[in-house]
Amino acid sequence: MACIFCKIIKGEIPSLKLFESEKTLAFLDIGPLSRGHSLIIPKHHGAKLHDIPDDQLAEVLSVTKKIAVAQGVQDYNVLQNNGRIAHQEVDHVHFHLIPKPNETEGLGIEWTTKPADKGELQKLLEDIKSKM
């Protein structure tokens, strides 16, 4: 398998491990956006969030929280991308924990909103809820 994260899990590629269990691995990012930028991954290989079993996702988020607390960060982003146009570069689900110590370090986000039609929102709500 050519997945870089699977190779890290198997120990074929070294990493700076913060945490490891049967289901989860967390390590420091070697190309950090800020000090403490970490990657938290399920050991189950899946390209997108919906490919990962719920029990694995639950542990990943719990570990993300533990690392944030251990780092003592007050402001941080948790980022998880799915698909190339959503900026996913590695086809293995991973969560970034990115400390935001000040305005210039960490993740920069431009969030452009637009007004939504309330009728369309109601239709969307009903459609999504009917499929859950």
Read off the tokens for 87: 């900026």
pLDDT category, 1, cuts 50, 70, 90?
Answer: low
| Active site (annotated) includes residue 87 | no
- Residue 120, C-beta contacts closer than 8 angstroms, at least 6 positions apart: none
Rounded CA-CA distance 123/2 in Å is 42
Q: What is this structure's pTM?
A: 0.89
- Catalytic annotation, pick one of 37, 92, 94, 96: 94
CATH class belonging to 4-130? alpha beta
All structural domains of the chain with their residue ranges = 4-130
**pLDDT tens, 18-62?**
999 999 999 999 999 999 999 999 999 999 999 999 999 999 999
Name the β-bridge partners of 26: 19, 40
Of 2 and 23, more confident: 23
pLDDT of 114 over the 80 cut: yes
